[in-house]
Amino acid sequence: MQGNYSVRIEGYAQTHFIKSFARKYKGRWDQTLNNVIIFSLERIDTLLQYKKAEIISDIDGIAIIKTKFAVIGSGESANSSGNRCIVSLDKERRVVSVLLVYSKNDLSGHNETEEWKEMVKVNYPEHKARCK
């Protein structure tokens, strides 16, 4: 089954928490990124249909979506792992952009949602209105 969306990893996501995942999980991270995260995001309609992803906002044909994932071989479920992806979905262009990939332990605040929304606002000004 081929995906319906192209997936790209944005620069901020790549240089921040993804780098930590790559160090911590070594070879398992590349497998997780390619075979779990990208594979699933290419089929984001299925994630949404089965409630494996949550639409945070949807303005002007671009949605901000939160998903959960587990690292291959960790023995954890996506729900219990605390690992999250924040993505934008451009429905017209059929592109999913990975904005953030993080573990709940990567965030220091008391409110996970407010913290990642602030990171998106600061690092992706084009999505500021979508993260209110």
CATH code of residue 123: 3.30.2310.20
122 inside domain = yes
Residue span of the structural domain in which 126 resides: 6-131
* Host H or E run for residue 122: helix 112-123
Kindly report the pTM of this predicted structure.
0.93
Q: What is the pLDDT of residues 27-60, one digit of tens each?
A: 899 999 999 999 999 999 999 999 999 999 999 9
Counting the structural domains of the chain, the total is 1
1 inside domain = no
41 inside domain = yes
d(CA 81, CA 78): 5
Under 8 Å between Cβ of 81 and 36: no
82 inside domain = yes
Q: Whose CA is closest to 107, among 97, 98, 120, 95?
A: 120
Number of other CB atoms surrounding residue 86 within 10 Å: 24
Q: What is the pLDDT of residue 1?
A: 47
23 inside domain = yes
Could you tell me the two tokens for 103? 């573990």
86 inside domain = yes
Report the amino acid identity of residue 80. Answer: S
95 inside domain = yes
Q: What is the pLDDT of residue 35?
A: 95
